[in-house]
Amino acid sequence: MPIVNFHLLAGEITGEQCELLLVEASQLYAKVLQSPVERVRAFITWHDSRHFAVAGSLCAATGMHAPFFDFFVLDGRPVEQRHQLAEGFTELLVKHLAVRRDVVRGRCQRIAPEDWSIAGVPASLLRADELAIRAAGELAHGA
């Protein structure tokens, strides 16, 4: 399930920067979620600077690169993990793209396990044991 999508301006970063961002984002996801890296997907969606506005002005006019990312986790992941991921993805953008931290934005989307499929099968069925263990852990911490 772990998926992150970075929305970036086309032509603003090198192939090496792309590779480092995607590889390190995948490693971060696996580490924070304690999940096999094989489950992780990381993408970059390119946007033309004439189609990307920040603070009411087109990036083509201002030259500002203000990345946005969104990432997905199955419902039940602790808020601490979600915050670690948001902070970590922001740090990777600052580190590899040399953008200002204050212009980076991100969003976590929690997906109900019954609404996510793996090989056409709902995650709620495939990951039932993992979800039960995670839920038991949250109950123990919340009690």
pLDDT digits (tens, 9 = 90+) for 97-131: 999 999 999 999 999 988 988 888 888 887 776 76
pLDDT of 37 strictly over 60: yes
- State what percent of residues in the chain have pLDDT above 70: 90
Q: Which amino acid is at 124?
A: S
* Other beta carbons less than 10 A from residue 21's beta carbon: 24
pLDDT digits (tens, 9 = 90+) for 71-88: 999 888 899 999 999 999
How far apart, in whole angstroms, are the C-alpha atoms of residue 103 and residue 118? 34
User: What is the pLDDT, as a whole number, of residue 129?
Assistant: 67
The residue with greater pLDDT, 57 or 142, is 57
Burial class (CB in 10 A: 0-12, 13-18, 19+), 30: middle
Query: 31 or 142: which carries more pLDDT confidence?
Result: 31
Q: Does residue 50 have a pLDDT over 90? A: yes
